[in-house]
Chains A and B, each alone.
Chain A
Amino acid sequence: MFLAIRDLWWARGRFALMAGAIALITLLVVMLTGLTEGLGRQSTSAITSLRADQIAVERPASGETLSMSTSRITGAALQKARTQSGVNAADPIGISTTRVTVGSTPAPATLFGVDPKAAVAPSGIGPDSAVVSSELVKDHTIRAGDSISVNGTTLRVAKVVDDASFSHVPVVWVPRSLWRHTGAAAGSEGTVLALQTGKGFDAQSFDTATGLVSKSRADSLSTIGSYSAENGSLTMIRGLLIAISALVIGAFFTVWTVQREGDLAVLKAVGARTTYLLRDALGQALLTLLLGGGIGTAAAFALGLAVRGQVPVVIDLGTVVVPFALMVAVGLLGATAALRRVVTVDPLTALAGAR
């Protein structure tokens, strides 16, 4: 690193530009990662927080995609599900988006209709009471003991639970009997089936017997249409940004190495081993990446903290450190492309007659 550090300082203008580019890309990647996680949680937190091992949805007609929004659980399917081997509990959840009235103000909400005694039901829910998400409380003055109106039925708010959203809309847990009177029910028992399973559960046998499709709770998120679309788009953008960063870093270090070919030839001529030069070049790339990536990550962290009240961005170890580490790793990969020239430079070219 003797030469790498001095080269960095000597060509600080060029390296500052490069570090600046890395910082900007890292800022974007970290913010996008936080946003993806935040939007994802807004879409899925009600499902990921369920006390269920498996989520079963209706098998779609041929040519259609598996989706919670079109799923209907029939009474027959429910009965079959409850008798399957390894199923400890099978609770239907009716899901529909509607408006609830908080005081005199209407507010969008996703109803999660559950039987009050079901395993997946949040504590506090009863025939005349609801449990609301803190997301709803954030936008409306509401606390436990207040009343809300759902489809003309007044329910007492028994409890406010931590953030629970579905498709970006705060969840209100209501008795399933109430949900069944909404138009969304259309005579079904629920939209999805939450399963608590144990030894002997076989997903394939379950699916065959019930006509449903069961998925682990994490895998079931892909059946939330808005989540899949958003997550896919944002992940693609992140992937492209990371690929661009690898290309930019690779191009920079290729040009930098080409400019140094004379120096490298001389160093080899005076006895520098190729491994020494490779370590030096990689160390230089690593320092540039740590500097640029560090600045970008710090900026994203500060920006994320500043806007997280207004924007659904998650700032934590996973959304900050992981993308930073990924940027450094991919950047090093890009820089490695430039190392080929370090290996192939011929020390003979240090002599005048050989040039």
Chain B
Amino acid sequence: MTRGMAEGMDVQALEIDQVTVRFRDGEGWTYALRDVSLTVAPGEFLAVTGPSGSGKSTLLAVAGLLLTPTEGTVRLAGREVGGATAKTRTDLRRSDIGFVFQQPHLLGSLTALEQLQMVARLDGDRSAATTQHAKDLLEQVGLGSVMHKRPSTLSGGQRQRVGIARALMGDPELLLVDEPTSALDHERGVAIVDLLRTLTHERGLGTLVVTHDLGTLGSDDEVIRLVDGKLAVEEPVD
């Protein structure tokens, strides 16, 4: 089953084609994903829901090149990356993919601005232009006034915004978001999803959001559901 908005687009931000992930479980196999295909186009905001153990995180791990599928192919911006070496996958995560984690996972010793500079440093980039880019991103997510504060002095919503800005630091093609609202109250959760949606459209990102919190999604958002590792029927948010 294929899902996405690939129609009419030449190059997709993400293409997952008939991906299966299975693990040895005693004498048999446990399937985390079964024959899943989907595409995420530039500018598309796609949410994936499903119960615990349905394969949402596995799907995110495959899309983020953290896990190599047992079968099937993965393409990032049109490039086949399923068989890439560990080093290439690391480099692609740095250059083409932005991650927003459930907990923002910010580094305690770094200020908000340094969290973003750190990403650039991974590429050896220490330029003033990069610092300005980081400041612009923090301004864009509404954190211009707290960019020199450490995570411990920021609210949960602010920390998640720093995490989003950090994910955008490398100007990725694809944004992968893991349960972004689970540590936030409903109001802040909605605000974060709104921000993600806006950034997706403004920056032409392909965004794949894994969430169990349908209440934070908008009525126009595309949502797909995973059940037992398989794509289930599309469902409206409301």
Contact = CB atoms under 8 A, between A and B. Distances in A.
A270 B94 contact: yes
A271 B176 CA distance: 14
Contact of A271 (B108, B114, B117, B170): B170
A268 B118 contact: no
Given A263-B107, A352-B179, A354-B61, A272 B122 contact: yes
B101 A350 contact: yes
A276 interface: yes
A256 to B, nearest CB: 12
A107 interface: no
B99 A354 contact: no
B56 A353 contact: yes
A104 B86 CA distance: 85
Majority DSSP secondary structure for residues of A touching B: helix
B107 A347 contact: no
A262 interface: yes
Interface in A258-277: 262-263, 266-273, 276
A308 interface: no
Nearest to B104: A266
B105 interface: yes
A9 interface: yes
Contacts of A350: 66, 99, 101, 105
A11 B107 CA distance: 12
A176 to B, nearest CB: 73
Given A6-B109, A354-B61, A271 B122 contact: yes
Contacts of B167: 270
Interface size class of A (residues with CB under 8 A): 20 to 34
B70 interface: no
Nearest to A6: B109
Contact of B66 (A3, A267, A351): A351
Contact of A269 (B64, B87, B103, B170): B64
A329 interface: no
B93 A352 contact: no
Contact of A270 (B56, B119, B210): B119
Contacts of B61: 348, 351, 354
Most central of A2, A7, A11, A351 by chain B CB within 10 Å:
A351
Contacts of B178: 351-353
Given A263-B105, A263-B107, A351 B90 contact: no
Contacts of A7: 109
Given A270-B93, A272-B94, 10 more contacts: A2-B121, A10-B108, A271-B90, A271-B94, A271-B95, A272-B122, A350-B99, A351-B102, A352-B57, A352-B182
